[in-house]
Chain A
Amino acid sequence: MSLSLILVVVLALGAMAYWLGRSRGAAMVVAGGHRIGAVHSLPGYHGAWVALLALAPALVVLAGWAIVGEGVVTGQVLAAVPQDVRPVTPLDTSAFMNEVRGLAAGDIAAAFNPAAEAVAPQYRAIRGNYNLMVGALALALFAIGGLWAFSQVRPDFRARNRVERVVKWGLVLASVVAILTTFGIVMSLIFESIRFFQMVSPVEFLFGTKWSPQTAIRADQVGSSGAFGAVPLFWGTIFIGAIIAMIVAIPLGLMAAIYMTQYADARVRRVVKPMLELLAGVPTVVYGFFAALTVAPAVRNFAVSIGIADASAESALAAGLVMGIMIIPFVSSMADDALTAVPQAMRDGSLAMGATKSETVKKVLVPAALPGIVGGVLLAVSRAIGETMIVVMAAGLAANLTLNPFSSVTTVTAQIVALLTGDQEFDSPKTLSAFALGLVLFVITLLLNIYALAVVKKYREAYE
């Protein structure tokens, strides 16, 4: 009897428990003559309470067994294997048990290890017994909980309050899971980074100007020095995400927002604004191949035509241009909000002085909305430097420390992808450096976001 079958049975019984509780509640309502106050809670709450008390312990037992069960069974199966052929290292054990499980489930016909074939029937028997025991325990708990809750169903029983409390704790649990996951991610970044910094000094990583993460496997290997100076990566990230992309996105986004809020009439705005925001919905991988296949060759041809012979096919300019286009909706929608939030009185005051529309925008609205616009730009920068697909496809992997926009540069995100793609050993500085890079990126974008949100919030308060 498999665990999933037990689970299905328990859930079906839970639905039945709900129905029973509900029916009994409904009967009480009828008996009470449909008066308010005759029965404290609606029938549905009684049903939910019965189902909850029946299901909760049974599900906890099943979940607990799903987590620890395999370990218990494995221990007993290994004990049954003769001492001389028993696997010793964790890796061997894992391979051995995989074969045993495959045989037991019938997924594979034969195993490399004859010992595994020998214990497969035992595994199946032990597993089956345990599952039966756990299933019986779950059903017993289900019955006890369900019956106890069912016996509580009385007109004055406050099922609603109890169910509401359970709902609240369920919601708390959901948000705690999200927070804990984030916390876990940060922790894993930090621990892996610490391992990296034990091999490479933080000073070299943060201030070194040579990036060449290939480490030599043999002593006589050429060109695999293993240099971990990340400055070229930081520079590439800033060059593409915070400089070139912003040169594109800030003027275009801001002017689009000014047009939308001040010039466009309601009909145009209704059509054009969602279209602009559609840009934000294009998958970044689509931008990526647009950058790599269309923009990058065009940029290279342009560079060659103006006499830069060594222009690279993958250039900072191509990636930055496309990233700028991608960022436009972020800038424009934040600028739109900021401009709309400037009180109408400010605009009227300027117009009543005889200022034209463009003078009003230039001298009153944009200065008044500036903090909000700056906040939007900072959020856009943090989005741009974390962007991956475009730079992977169009910026290249050569860690050049250069000001030339036609040459190939690389970014933190592109390097992380390169370092972790394919089969990698997780104890070399090459792989671990990806975590250090990720940590730096995380810290930078976190600070940018906190600062940007503070700016935006302060500005909003000023007008409310």
Chain B
Amino acid sequence: MTDIPARQADGNSAPMAHNVPVAAGRAAEAVTTKMTARDVNVFYGAKQALKNVSIDVSRENVTAFIGPSGCGKSTFLRCFNRMNDTVDSAQVSGRIQLDGKDIYSPDMDVVQLRARVGMVFQKPNPFPKSIYENIAYGPRIHGLARAKPDLDIIVESSLRRAGLWDEAKDRLNESGTAMSGGQQQRLCIARAIAVDPEVILMDEPCSALDPIATAKIEELIDELRGKYAIVIVTHNMQQAARVSQKTAFFHLGSMVEYGDTSMIFTNPVQTRTKDYITGRYG
């Protein structure tokens, strides 16, 4: 897993949408498409937040959404687990599929969808419960553990995978909110992992953290790559370059460019992308 991103990326899953320029790429490794989005539009009341966005998210790669504030990247991310349902004024149109099944179709149960597509938020939001209870929350509501020993195993393995076990094992009964910001965010990642999702959405997971905690989260994302399809929204271009293999650049509600991270950052096709990457605006 230490290959440089450019060699992992491939061109086969390159964008299929009509308005997305195709990034050049060489077939290196087979990738499986986990989620696809086609012609997604999102309106908040009369205001259009997202315009005709299409994208494929693969299981093996970390996909980063970058772009200036208000460009629609977080709105788009929240379409993948239907979190926009909780916003009364939001209207989503278009097609988003998980393993080929439309997640907005009437027979898709949103509870199951969210168990399969987990989410980590901008600000760490552990529940005001103990560390143990924070992790056990998801498995409990989805009935994943029959007895306490099963639950103990899930809690331990989730914390281990989130790299938090050594720090948390002696204080499982302390409140999750008593941890440091970086620990809280890793706790939230562990909480998402605990229900064994297929996709993890991360909405600017490091924006409230200091550089050291950020480095830890990035390390963790790299370790989780391949086990879960990961989509990360970030403000920080260096972060996108460090953790992702595919990058999509959003501007004013449209997806301007989508391709291999190495290409986007070294040789973008669109001038708007280039201007953003070189710091002309944003």
Contacts and interface: CB of A to CB of B under 8 A. Distances in A.
B235 interface: no
Given A348-B83, A348-B86, A349-B188, A354 B125 contact: no
B176 to A, nearest CB: 11
Contacts, number: 66
A367 B83 contact: no
A355 B141 contact: yes
B142 A354 contact: yes
B195 interface: yes
A359 B83 contact: no
B128 A353 contact: no
Given A353-B191, A353-B195, A354-B112, A348 B125 contact: yes
A358 to B, nearest CB: 11
Contact of B192 (A265, A266, A353, A356): A353
A170 interface: no
Contacts of B119: 352
B38 interface: no
Interface string A179-219: 00000000000000000000000000000000000000000
Contact of B138 (A345, A348, A353): A353
A368 B128 CA distance: 6
B115 A345 contact: no
A345 B114 contact: no
Interface in B52-87: 81, 83, 86
Nearest to B119: A352
Given A352-B81, A353-B138, A354-B114, A367 B128 contact: yes
Interface string A81-106: 00000000000000000000000000
A359 B143 CA distance: 13
Given A354-B115, A364-B127, A349 B138 contact: no
Query: Which range contains the number of B residues in contact with the other chain?
Result: 20 to 34
Interface string A275-310: 000000000000000000000000000000000000
Interface in A362-384: 363-364, 367-368
Contact of A354 (B111, B123, B127, B128): B111
A363 B138 CA distance: 11
A354 B86 contact: no
B127 A351 contact: no
A350 interface: yes
Contact of A363 (B81, B113, B137, B142): B137
Nearest to B122: A345
Contacts of A251: none
A346 interface: yes
A32 interface: no
B121 A349 contact: yes
A343 interface: yes
Contacts of A349: 121, 125-127, 188, 191
Interface in B81-112: 81, 83, 86, 88, 110-112
Contact of A353 (B118, B123, B129): B118
A281 B83 CA distance: 40
Given A349-B121, A354-B141, A266 B88 contact: yes
Interface string A133-145: 0000000000000
Q: Which of A347, A352, A368 has the most CB of B within 10 A?
A: A352
Contact of B137 (A343, A350, A368): A350
Interface in B116-166: 118-119, 121, 123, 125-129, 137-138, 141-142
A391 to B, nearest CB: 39
A352 B114 contact: yes
Contacts of B191: 349, 353
B76 to A, nearest CB: 16
A352 B141 CA distance: 12
A345 B123 contact: yes
Contacts of B86: 347-348, 351
Interface string B231-242: 000000000000
A83 B255 CA distance: 110
Interface in A318-356: 343, 345-356
B195 A354 contact: yes
A348 B127 CA distance: 11
Contacts of A352: 81, 83, 114, 118-119, 121, 192
A265 B88 contact: yes
A351 B86 CA distance: 9
Contacts of A367: 128-129
Contacts of B88: 265-266
A348 B123 CA distance: 11
A345 B121 contact: yes
Contacts of B111: 354-356
B138 A354 contact: yes
Interface string A40-77: 00000000000000000000000000000000000000
A370 to B, nearest CB: 9
Contacts of B113: 354
B175 to A, nearest CB: 11
B127 A350 contact: yes
Nearest to A343: B125
Contacts of B112: 354
Contacts of B127: 346, 349-350, 363-364, 368
5 contacts: A352-B81, A352-B121, A354-B141, A355-B138, A356-B111
Interface of B: 81, 83, 86, 88, 110-115, 118-119, 121, 123, 125-129, 137-138, 141-142, 188, 191-192, 195
Q: List 5 A-B pairs, minimum CB-CB distance, nearest first.
A: A354-B114, A345-B125, A354-B115, A352-B119, A349-B125
Interface of A: 265-266, 343, 345-356, 359, 363-364, 367-368
